[in-house]
Amino acid sequence: MKEDVLYHFSLSTSTHDFPTMFGDVKFVCVGGSPSRMKAFIKYMAVELGLDHPGAEYPDICEGTDRYAMFKVGPVLSVSHGMGIPSIAIMLHELIKLLYHARCSGVTVIRIGTSGGIGVEPGSVVITRQAVDGCFKQEFEQIVLGKRVVRNTHLDDWLVQELVRCSADLGEFPTVVGNTMCTLDFYEGQGRLDGALCSYAEKDKQEYLRAAYEAGIRNIEMESSVFAAMCNACGLRAAVVCVTLLNRLEGDQISSPHEVLVEYQKRPQRLVGHFIKKCLAAA
């Protein structure tokens, strides 16, 4: 194509110089909320010694309200919204952006929140592999009317390196486990407090305990397509999510706001330490 329009980023190869804007990117961190990803880039600016009084971190995607994108040094921070469709659209355009910018050796990490299974609230889960609601290690999509299945395994070296970084910090409990990716926050995750519910507490407990036995330690709504697309495109990737509650003990998130805010900073601190460690070794 003479021009590639990344519509949902409000960027185009004919109006933006991708190699100049993004050619030095080595780490891409993605998360659901625009405000959280802006806070992350501000945090990384301080950690990398690139912050200064009055520094602004403008939204590179300011021409749209679909996604937000921020950059400091070799770190790109992008919001992806909520759920598989939203993050999939973002990833298509992000991966094309990295290609047009001629980036190499890029690591992509999703940082976010989740519901824990058998782990205490505030624990950080580093995903070994993403699984679906039937505990299968796969992401299924219908393409041209046919079922296409892709692998959802995540990079083993990256998992172990993140575990080492958590040990370096020693600030919060961290576990490695499988992450269940669902299509919904309520019925898809076995909640009893949605508008629709066709099962009982006993059924929910049976399902969640089976998930725990299958090695699942948390539930969210983006990891499977994230792992599948990064795998398919040869990108080293990881998922690092904090748990806001233990789903074996309830459905609703009831911790005080200030506690939840602190929890949400934990994946940022872990991934920030990892990035600093990688850059120091380069």
Binding residues, by number, are 66, 110-113, 189, 191
- Which residue carries 């824990």 as its tokens? 116
State the Cα–Cα distance between residues 219 and 251, nearest whole angstrom: 12
Per the annotation, where are the binding residues for substrate? Answer: 189, 191
- Other Cβ atoms less than 10 A from the Cβ of 101: the count is 21
Q: How is 114-182 classified by DSSP, letter by letter?
A: EEESSS-TT-EEEEEEEE-TTS-SEEEEEETTEEEEEE-B--HHHHHHHHHHHHHH--S-EEEEEEEE-
Query: Which of the 8 DSSP states describes residue 234?
Result: T
Is the separation of the CB atoms in 177 and 216 below 8 Å? Answer: yes
**Going by C-beta distance under 8 Å and a sequence separation of 6 or more, which residues neighbour residue 78?**
28, 29, 30, 37, 67, 68, 69, 70, 90, 94
How many Cα atoms are found within 13 Å in the side-chain-facing hemisphere of 122?
A: 13
Phi, psi of 170 (to 5 degrees): 60, 35
Helix or strand holding residue 280 (H, E):
helix 257-281
**The tokens of 211 are what?**
């998930």
Count of residues for the chain? 282
241-275 burial, b at 16+ Cβ within 10 Å, e below that, comes to: bbbbbbbbeebeeeeeeeebeebbbbbbbbbbbbb
Task: Give Cα 101 distance to the centre of its chain.
Answer: 22
Per the annotation, where are the binding residues for phosphate? Answer: 66, 110-113
